[in-house]
Amino acid sequence: MKIAIGPVLFEWGKKELRRFYHQMAYESAADILYIGEVVCGRRSHLTVPELLQLAQELQPSGKEIVFSTFGLVMNDEEQLFIRQLVTMAQQHGLMVEVNDMAGLAIGEGSDMVAGPHINSYNPETIAFLATVGVRRVVFPVELSRDMIAAIIRKRPPQPLEYELFAWGRLPLSLSARCYTARAFQLSKANCQYRCGDYPDGLPLHTQTGEPFLTINGVQMMSDATFNLIREIELLQQIGVDVVRLSPQSQGMLERTAVWRQRLDGQLSAIDGQAALTRLDATASYCNGYFYGQAGLDLVEAVATVVAMEHDSTENLEECCHADR
């Protein structure tokens, strides 16, 4: 099983982005690096030529480099940016992660990754994606283990990898409105990049003071950190090929090392969880979506390996088509 470092979802600035990716390329145990802006076009500090330059600087590390694109394409300028990025990727034999159907249409025919913002909810959708050039699917974060297992069992004839968001604050929604700017009585057009003051997002609490969500510009994220390090054996059994770790501003090198040890069988589920907790004792975790529960729930029991072959075909199909 491979480790992917997902695209940076926060506002870190050009210098910090370059530093982070160089560190992850040459010092981390990751296998795949996603680079590029997903959340907000105003935060696209790296131009298309600069993204290519960064990719070329990272490639000697042996990591697979993938360009990520916007999760919500909102104007012609952003569409042109994706067109230029796809063209450049094709010319240099690199893959592009599309997170919006507009990006999928632009990249059709080239090798692509369908990101977590593409609604890959059933085998029929994934079979279609495979016919237009998708070579890896990142499941939407709200899918349960049963739905994921059912989809993988009905894999299309084309070669396809399956990636799962396994650690980090969950990217829940994108909007044309900038929540961070609004929190400071600013317009989106004059946001002053206030999101950069919160490198891991702006915490949002309920009226009673309880942690609820994380504001990240035009994106809403979970407050708790989604964490499936205990479920590795189950992920392997149902056929997940890649686990995605979503970047946070501190400790990613150490966290990636823990995940590598866990995947290599050097750490048990309990020891892996303990190692992550030591790196951030204040973190709260969730995994409810994976177990078909509310996303903010934490299922405490370590997952047991489920013999999926004993589930009826009818039940599996019911899971896959539930959101149609």
Taking only the tens place, the pLDDT of each residue in 126-185 is: 999 999 999 999 999 999 999 999 999 998 888 999 999 999 999 999 999 999 999 999
Residue-level pLDDT at 312: 36
Q: What is the pLDDT of residue 303?
A: 45
Distance CA 180, CA 188 (A): 9
Please state the domain extents for the chain: 2-172+221-320
The answer for 207, left when phi > 0, alpha when psi is -120 to 50, beta otherwise, is: alpha
Q: How far apart are CA 311 and CA 318, in angstroms?
A: 11
User: In the numeric block, which tokens belong to residue 95?
Assistant: 């893959």
Residue whose structure tokens are 């240099």: 92
| Structure-token pair, residue 229 | 């390090």
> What would the mean pLDDT of 294-307 be, rounded to a whole number?
69
pLDDT digits (tens, 9 = 90+) for 68-80: 999 999 899 999 9
pLDDT at 319 over 90: no
Those residues with Cβ within 8 angstroms of residue 262's Cβ, 6 or more apart along the chain or in another chain: 229, 232, 269, 272
Q: What is the pLDDT of residues 224-252, one digit of tens each?
A: 999 999 999 999 999 999 999 999 999 99
Q: Dump the DSSP string for 255-320.
A: HHHHHHHHHTTSS-HHHHHHHHHHH-TT--EE-GGGGTS-TT----SPPPPP-GGGS-HHHHHHHH
What confidence category does residue 305 fall into, taking pLDDT thresholds of 50, 70 and 90?
A: very low
pLDDT in tens, 10-63: 999 999 999 999 999 999 999 999 999 999 999 989 999 999 999 999 999 999
Percent of the chain with pLDDT over 90: 85
What percent of the chain has a predicted confidence (pLDDT) above 70? Answer: 93
pLDDT at residue number 301: 58
Q: What value does the mean pLDDT of the chain take?
A: 91
Q: pLDDT-based confidence at 300, cuts 50/70/90?
A: confident
Tell me the two tokens of residue 23.
Answer: 């560190």
CATH of 2-172+221-320, one of 3.40.190.10, 3.10.20.440, 3.20.20.380, 3.30.465.10: 3.20.20.380
What are the E-state strand segments in the chain? 2-5, 32-35, 64-68, 95-98, 112-114, 134-138, 161-174, 202-205, 211-216, 219-227, 242-245, 285-286
Residue appearing with tokens 């926060």: 10
Compute the distance between CA of residue 22 and CA of residue 177 in angstroms, rounded to an integer. Answer: 32
- Which pLDDT score is estimated for 110? 87
- 99, with CB counted inside 10 A (0-12, 13-18, 19+), is buried
